[in-house]
Amino acid sequence: MMFNRVAIIGLGLIGGSLAAAMRARGLATTIVAGARSERTIERGQLLGLIDEGSTDFAEAVRGADLVFLAVPVSSMADAMEKMAPGLTNTVIITDGGSVKGKVIEAAQQALAPHISRFVPGHPIAGKEKSGVDAADATLYENHRIILTPIAATDPQATEKIRALWQAVGAEVLTMEPQEHDRILAETSHLPHLLAFSLVNTLARQDDSLDIFRYAAGGFRDFTRIASSDPLMWHDIFKENRDSVLRSVDLFQQGLNEFRKAVEQGDSDALLTIMTQANSARAHFLALSARTSYTAAQQLNDHSNTKASDKTAMSNTASGHDRRVEFHLQPGGSLNGTLRVPGDKSISHRSIMLGALAEGTTEVEGFLEGEDALATLHAFRDMGVVIEGPSGGRVRIHGVGLHGLKAPSSTLYMGNSGTTMRLLMGLLAGQRFASELTGDASLTRRPMERVAKPLRSMGANISTNNGTPPVQIHGGSPLKGMHYDMPVASAQVKSAILLAGLYAEGETSVTEPAPTRDHTERMLAGFGYEVIRDGATSKVRGGGKLSACQLEVPADISSAAFFLVGASIAKNAELLLPHVGINPTRTGIIDILKLMGADITLENQRDAGGEPVADIRVKSAKLKGITIPAELVPLAIDEFPVLFIAAACAEGDTILHGAEELRVKESDRIQVMADGLTTLGVECEVYDDGIRVRGGQYGGGEVQAHSDHRIAMSFAIASLRANAPILIHDCANVTTSFPSFAELASAAGMNIRVEQD
Ligand code: NAP
């Protein structure tokens, strides 16, 4: 048993809920209440919360090894004085008061002999209801408890209280008492004050009845907390007076700025305030849950309709922990016109270059996937006003090459390696310092291959043993240089060229093999001169970028699923409009054509420096091939779905020279081989590739291992399977192709998504 005899002084919502939770989990032999009224004791016994009770607090605590004080903060001193004569010399005392400074002062006076065993605490959980009848055994589950031990507190006592809260399902944090009171004043006391004040101000208007009758949902959401107990809040505003006043003053400053912007019709100021607030909220939800932006947005929406932010913040379920399964029936076909989402690489760069340009850049077809959103939020955090995204439309109010502002906190990149690596180059040339971090998987990825060459240009960058967080110290003048890349990487090349925009003189990069050249093409599209000479690209610092209109081409990597799908399906004909056909990305088309696919490029044109075309693809009889080595790097992301094409082709398809596939989001060779084998496809795995034998295959359950491209590839396989396919672990499809299942189903595939 964790405790023998527990005394709860103040058996209301907070005290009663701890009694109920300890009861439910068998954490105490006897629970006693110290209450102000007999009625509360009777109700406590009737509800099964306590064994006995007394209105004499000294009596209630006699023989207790734990005392929990849960009376209003203004009554804490009085309750402590009353109970002190009954305390034993070993008792551990804790409390649940919402203000810590004043409660600690009271304990130093009234509980002096016991002060080393007093552990001040505050559960960040509650309801609008109060009193013993509101007690709830689950109140603290998945909520946070802040402990604020003082210098005199015995660490063993703190540990015991930590264990108690953890045992009732809470997460425990520790903090300095003053810090607690300041932070709570800003995040809890101020919002309550505003809610009470707004309702009261409107209620005093003559037409208040009408106002409330027609009040919209926003009013209800904003003022929900004005239903909280006035007595308790009266205490809090009195007992945490100084911190509350400071936060009201701070708010008043912000309100005045907002007022001025409205008065002057200052669109820029209005949009700046609101987009920054928007992004700050997504940022803090993402940081607090260590999760992705999409998941944070879902938490955000959830908290708008239900419960409170406290619930949202304490909910650590991330987008990637969600169970998402694809269920596919065999057969189906693909027909019609299918617009796949915008190119990820180009979406990232449209935000980056649009932010650094002079003027307003309008983007259409922006990919609203997690990775590109991470880039968008990072620029909002640096003061750039970005409207949208809404239906793929984004307007970026460029601030010019030197207009970015220091972010107020760490920039969070989610799972996006592209954002982090490209921003390292761009931020290396800024006057301000910045820190970049990301989710658990991104913080394991190597960053030195970018940091090192940037240091040679004069940047002051540190990494955590080669991985994020990355600190960019800022303020170091950069010097142009020539860099011979040891390994072909579009991200390294782009980071150096972006740093080159801020460097003195010329910066040039030579690549050992062709890599994606979106940065070079798009810089040119934004009016910045890039000199290209064979494998070398060169920029000169000190120029400027001009805003432009950009229709992001559809992503050929996403189109790839449907190029294969329509090739292998019976009676299929698809038109995929406005797909990017940058020659560094079209390996998939060349390989499929070698296999006999019926693919034609129509209406070829240029969009913001990038070549695009409408692609028509029809059912075809595919044959196995040995994939030419020079096409391997140009189709590296498309191999999972090419293996499905191979499984439907006549004869063997053989791939070598693709060892990089083993270190992508998953080991794509092994994971695909496992899934293909489950379906009954014969394959042989090599260190650097695979041999797939085409023919008939069945269905079964396959694992996507959180890899979006694996999940979508096996979904495409259903078009030729003889039995249903169930694909587990598909949540990450949102990173690159959030609308995949919807589009596939609209075009004729039998796909159903199950999730929770
Ligand atoms: P509550 O439901 O109103 O319960 C307060 C309890 O204290 C009642 O049992 C009441 O006795 C007793 N009490 C009231 N005035 C007293 C006095 N002058 N002397 C002795 N006992 C007195 O309030 P609560 O929400 O549980 O709040 C308790 C503490 O938790 C407060 O310090 C509050 O700041 C803190 N807290 C509250 C929340 C929340 O959201 N509610 C969240 C975190 C922390 P009777 O039953 O006889 O009236």
H-assigned helices in 542-594: 556-568, 587-594
Share of residues in the chain with pLDDT > 70 (%) = 95
Is the CB of 121 within 6 Å of ligand 1?
no
- Strands 144-147 and 121-124 come out as antiparallel
Question: How many angstroms separate the alpha carbon of residue 13 from the centre of ligand 1?
Answer: 7
Is the bond into 469 cis (omega within 30 degrees of 0)? yes
Q: Give the pair of three-digit tokens for residue 655.
A: 């791939």
Model pLDDT, residue 121: 98
List CB contacts of 512: < 8 A, sequence separation 6 or more: 484, 485, 486, 487, 488, 535
Confidence (pLDDT) at 754: 94
Q: Which two tokens stand for residue 281?
A: 């909220």
Is any atom of ligand 1 closer than 6 Å to the C-beta of 135?
no
* DSSP-assigned letter for residue 540: E
Q: State pTM to two decimals.
A: 0.62
Mean pLDDT rounded to a whole number for the chain: 91
Residue with CA nearest ligand 1 atom 48: 36
386 — pLDDT class (breaks 50, 70, 90):
confident
Please state the rounded mean pLDDT for residues 477-483: 97
Q: Taking the mean position of all CA atoms in its chain, how far away is CA 372?
A: 12
Pairing label, strands 118-119, 92-95: parallel
SS3 19: helix
Closest atom of ligand 1 to 123 CA is 43
Burial, 542: exposed, middle or buried (Cβ in 10 Å; 0-12, 13-18, 19+)? exposed
Structure letter (DSSP) for residue 98: S
Taking Cα atoms as reference points, which of 550, 72, 97, 545 lies closest to residue 347? 550
Q: Whose CA is nearest to atom 20 of ligand 1?
A: 36
Is 323's pLDDT higher than 90? no
Average pLDDT over residues 252-268: 94
| Ligand 1 center from residue 15 Cα (angstroms) | 8
State which of 9, 38, 71, 145 you would mutate to test the pocket of ligand 1, scoring each by most atoms of that ligand within 8 A of its C-beta: 71
Q: How far is the CA of 100 from the centre of ligand 1 (A)?
A: 15
Instruction: Please work out whether the CB of residue 170 comes within 6 Å of at least one atom of ligand 1.
Output: no
Q: Is 16 in the pocket of ligand 1 (CB under 6 A)?
A: no
Which ligand 1 atom minimizes the distance to the CA of 98? 34
HSE, side-chain direction, 13 A CA sphere, residue 515: 20
Mean pLDDT, residues 69-85: 97
Which tokens hold the place of 723?
């039995």
Average pLDDT over residues 700-710: 94
Which pLDDT score is estimated for 580?
Answer: 96
Please give the positions annotated as active site. 637
Any ligand 1 atom below 6 A from CB of 40: yes
* Segment 581-588 mean pLDDT: 94
Residue 34 Cβ < 6 Å to ligand 1: no
Give distance in angstroms: CA of 174 to centre of ligand 1: 23
Cα(76) to ligand 1 centroid in Å equals: 10
**Does residue 309 or residue 694 have the better pLDDT?**
694
pLDDT confidence of 625, banded at 50, 70, 90?
A: very high
Residue 39: exposure state from Cβ atoms within 10 A (0-12, 13-18, ≥19): exposed
Question: Could you tell me the pLDDT band of residue 300, with boundaries at 50, 70 and 90?
Answer: very low
Reply yes or no on whether the pLDDT at 296 is more than 70. Answer: no
Provide the pLDDT for residue 304. Answer: 40
For 526-573, how does the pLDDT look when each residue is reduced to its tens digit (9 = 90+)?
A: 999 999 999 999 999 999 999 999 999 999 999 999 999 999 999 999
Q: Which residue has the tokens 């040339």?
A: 429
Ligand 1, atom 1, lies closest to the CA of 12
Among protein residues, the one with the nearest Cα to ligand 1's atom 35 is 97
